[in-house]
Amino acid sequence: MSLALRCRGLTKRFAGVTALADVSMDVKAGTLLALLGPSGCGKTTLLRLIAGLDRPDAGTIEIGDRVVEATGVHAPPEQRQVGLVFQEYALFPHLSVADNVAFGLPRGQDRTARVRDLLGQVGLNGLGSRMPHELSGGQQQRVALARALAPSPRLIMLDEPFSNLDPALRDGVRREVQRVLRAAKATAIIVTHDQEEALSMADEVAVMMDGCIQQQGAPAAVYWWPVSRRVAEFVGDINVIDGRAIGHVVVCDLGTVAILEEVVGPVDLLIRPEALQLTPDIRGQAVQRDRTFYGHDQMIEVQFDSGLRLTSRVAPMFPFAPGNRVRVQLSPDGEALAFPRTDS
Ligand code: ATP
Give the three-class secondary structure for 109.
coil
Which residues partner with 218 through β-bridges?
none
The pTM assigned to this predicted structure is 0.90
Section 82-86 average pLDDT: 87
Average pLDDT over the chain, rounded to whole? 92
Quick: pLDDT tens for 292-328. 999 999 999 999 999 999 999 999 999 999 999 999 9
Q: Which of 38, 34, 68 lies closest to 51, judged by CA?
A: 68
With vertex at residue 220, the alpha carbon angle to CA 217 and CA 222, rounded to the nearest 5 degrees, is: 45
| Number of helices and strands in the chain (H, E) | 8, 19
Q: Which of 207, 160, 201 lies closest to 41, judged by CA?
A: 207
pLDDT above 70 (res 147): yes
**Is 19 a pocket residue for ligand 1 (Cβ < 6 Å)?**
yes
Closest-CA residue, ligand 1 atom 14, reads 42
Give the three-class secondary structure for 157.
strand
Section 61-75 average pLDDT: 95
Closest-CA residue, ligand 1 atom 11, reads 42
Q: Please report the pLDDT score of residue 176 as a whole number.
A: 85
Question: How far, in Å, from the CA of 40 to the mean position of ligand 1?
Answer: 5
**Is 294 a pocket residue for ligand 1 (Cβ < 6 Å)?**
no
**Is 38 a pocket residue for ligand 1 (Cβ < 6 Å)?**
no
pLDDT confidence bin for 89, thresholds 50/70/90: low
Q: Please report the pLDDT score of residue 333 as a whole number.
A: 86
Q: Residue 109 contacts by C-beta under 8 Å, 6 or more apart in sequence?
A: none
Question: How far, in Å, from the CA of 42 to the mean position of ligand 1?
Answer: 6
Q: Quick check: 37 and 209 in contact, CB under 8 A? A: yes
Quick: pLDDT tens for 205-229. 999 999 999 999 999 999 999 999 9
Closest-CA residue, ligand 1 atom 20, reads 40
**Is 80 a pocket residue for ligand 1 (Cβ < 6 Å)?**
no
Question: How far, in Å, from the CA of 213 to the mean position of ligand 1?
Answer: 15
Closest-CA residue, ligand 1 atom 3, reads 39
Closest-CA residue, ligand 1 atom 28, reads 14
**Is 41 a pocket residue for ligand 1 (Cβ < 6 Å)?**
yes
**Is 14 a pocket residue for ligand 1 (Cβ < 6 Å)?**
yes
pLDDT above 80 (res 71): yes
Closest-CA residue, ligand 1 atom 1, reads 39
CA distance 144 to 284: 56
**Identity at 99, one-letter amino acid code:** D
41 CA: nearest ligand 1 atom: 6
| Strands 204-209 vs 32-36: parallel, antiparallel or unpaired | parallel
Q: Quick check: 132 and 91 in contact, CB under 8 A? A: yes
Domains of the chain by range and CATH?
A: 3-234 (3.40.50.300), 239-340 (2.40.50.140)
Q: Please report the pLDDT score of residue 88 as a whole number.
A: 67
46 CA: nearest ligand 1 atom: 11
pLDDT above 80 (res 87): no
Pocket test for ligand 1, best of 11, 20, 45 (most atoms within 8 A of CB): 45
**Is 104 a pocket residue for ligand 1 (Cβ < 6 Å)?**
no
Q: Quick check: 195 and 235 in contact, CB under 8 A? A: yes
Section 54-78 average pLDDT: 95
pLDDT above 80 (res 1): no
Closest-CA residue, ligand 1 atom 18, reads 40
Max mean pLDDT range (94-103, 170-179, 286-295): 286-295
Closest-CA residue, ligand 1 atom 15, reads 19
48 CA: nearest ligand 1 atom: 11
Give the N- to C-terminal CA distance of the chain in Å, as an integer.
45
Q: Quick check: 273 and 267 in contact, CB under 8 A? A: no
Q: Please report the pLDDT score of residue 257 as a whole number.
A: 93
**Is 16 a pocket residue for ligand 1 (Cβ < 6 Å)?**
no
pLDDT above 60 (res 344): no
CA distance 11 to 21: 5
> Rounded to 10 degrees, what is the CA torsion of 195, 200, 203, 207?
0
Section 11-29 average pLDDT: 95
**Is 48 a pocket residue for ligand 1 (Cβ < 6 Å)?**
no
**Identity at 165, one-letter amino acid code:** L
